[in-house]
Structure 1
Amino acid sequence: MTFVQIIDCKTTRVDDLNRLMDKWVEQTKGKRTATHSIVGTDRSDASHVVEIVEFPSYEDAMRNSQLPETDRIFREMVALCDEMPTFTDLDVVRDESLTKANVRRLLEMIASEDDTALLDEVLAEGYHDHDPTNPQDTYGMDAVRREVRMWRDAFDFRFTVEDQIAEGDRVCTRWTWNGTHNGDFMGIQPTGMDVTMTGTVIHRCREDGKLVEGWWQYDMLGLMGQLGAVEA
């Protein structure tokens, strides 16, 4: 996201305004340059309506404004409003998803935070983990802390986030894990070896950004091969 336009208007005909927006989307199909649109009403004044429209660039927004369909819809929009709508053009200087930041924070805490009680900062109570290497899913903070301690007792490790994609209440993170095997791991005595593993996790997030569920996939077979537990 590099450019956002905010449209403020006053109207008691919000349903008609929504139908007008649907009409604009239909008429500009294949032509419009907007990539995302959010419409909200003010909790303290239901007649105050704000639309936030995202564009790849200012130039794309201007091309969108010059469409004849956009001009017609704007004139109809003005007719629905109690006063002339106002426009605010914003160049985006920072775009950070708190859910993505919380996932990064979780991976950092798993690897390095001595006080596992601090996991409460990013995980919701009753957090539910799906891990194909475990016979049962992990439920709740106590179970998560036991899982974290098991990995920490066996390895000194860290995560490197390679990619993150957020959509709706989901965050997908592709990571690389690097560790040194210095403790018992599934019956394998410490080898002192430096090992690595790649994986992906999808998290479901609450409205406040806390993580409520996770689905992990990672190369456990490759890790066991590096430790000499299976044939490489």
Structure 2
Amino acid sequence: MTFVQIIDCKTDRVEEMNRLLDSWAEATQGRRTATHAMMGRDRSDSTHVLEIVEFPSYEEAMENSRLPETDRIFREMTALCDGEPTFTDLDVVRDEQLNKLVVRRFVDEVINNADSDAADELCAPGYREHDPSQPSYDMDLEAAKAANREIMGAFRPTCTIEGLVAEGDTVCLRMSFKGRHVAAYQGLEATGREVTGTGHATFRCEGGRIAESWWNVDDMGMMRQLGVVPE
């Protein structure tokens, strides 16, 4: 279970605290178990500072606390604070990165359910799609829906999410797909052949909807499977 520790302190020496945390990150490289760390300052009280550190589990957090550098940095951090910092230890019981959810819905509804109109809800009105395999690299929502309908009708693909990584407003998707070439696609008549492949896509989200996407799929591998390009 993911474990989060919140360190609450009062200090007016935030820049020194930042440098101290940088030195800890450098000194513990290759040995620390923390996976994510952030520091925030209270907008209503500039001396109120919170450090939030994430670990894969409580046990790994305890391993991290036993590093000599962690003990040294904590003592130096305490010297920068007005009083002793306080700790809140949290077992994470729910963790949803909301931009990931909209990307999962896009894969499930637009691709796997072959419902291109679902993109009207999932994508922002000014949506732009970039795909080097399409006649236009820069498509608006209606053009992207038309391209998707052609792909879905031609291959009836299913997409499996192999990995999703989110940071800020960006979500990166690693995927695999399979399908059968049952209808014409970009002038190529149906071959009846099965196709499989992999790809990556990057999504930029705004307000809980997809505003822009970039797609890179193994089109050369698919063309080989269709017999268009020699093995």
TM over 0.5: yes
Residue identity opposite 2:10 in structure 1: K
Structure-2 residue corresponding to 1:195: 194
- Contact residue 197 and residue 219 of structure 1 kept, 8 A: no
Task: State the SS of the aligned residue for 2:105.
Answer: helix
- Contact residue 197 and residue 221 of structure 2 kept, 8 A: no
Q: 1:181 to 1:135 in 2, by over 3 A?
A: closer
Structure-2 residue corresponding to 1:205: 204
Task: State the SS of the aligned residue for 1:87.
Answer: strand
Please, which runs of 5 or more residues in structure 2 have no aligned partner?
none
Superposed, 1:57-96 pairs within 5 Å as 57-96=57-96
Aligned residues: 230
* Separation in structure 1 between the aligned mates of residue 167 and residue 178 of structure 2, nearest angstrom: 28
> Does 141-150 or 194-203 show the bigger shift?
194-203
1:10 and 2:10 correspond = yes
* Separation in structure 2 between the aligned mates of residue 139 and residue 67 of structure 1, nearest angstrom: 52
Shift of 1:38: 0.7
Structure-2 residue corresponding to 1:41: 41
Please, which runs of 5 or more residues in structure 1 have no aligned partner?
none
> Does 47-56 or 107-116 show the bigger shift?
107-116
* Separation in structure 2 between the aligned mates of residue 105 and residue 54 of structure 1, nearest angstrom: 27
Task: State the SS of the aligned residue for 2:71.
Answer: helix
Structure-1 residue corresponding to 2:159: 159
* Separation in structure 1 between the aligned mates of residue 161 and residue 89 of structure 2, nearest angstrom: 33
Task: State the SS of the aligned residue for 2:15.
Answer: helix
Q: 1:175 to 1:12 in 2, by over 3 A?
A: same
Residue identity opposite 2:157 in structure 1: F
TM, length-normalised to structure 1: 0.78
- Contact residue 195 and residue 223 of structure 1 kept, 8 A: no
TM, length-normalised to structure 2: 0.78
Task: State the SS of the aligned residue for 1:172.
Answer: strand
Shift of 1:141: 1.4
Task: Give the percent of matched residue pairs that are identical in Structure 1 and Structure 2.
Answer: 51
Deviations 1:34-89 (A, max 9, x none): 23211112334333221111223323322332334333332333333334322122
* Separation in structure 2 between the aligned mates of residue 30 and residue 80 of structure 1, nearest angstrom: 27
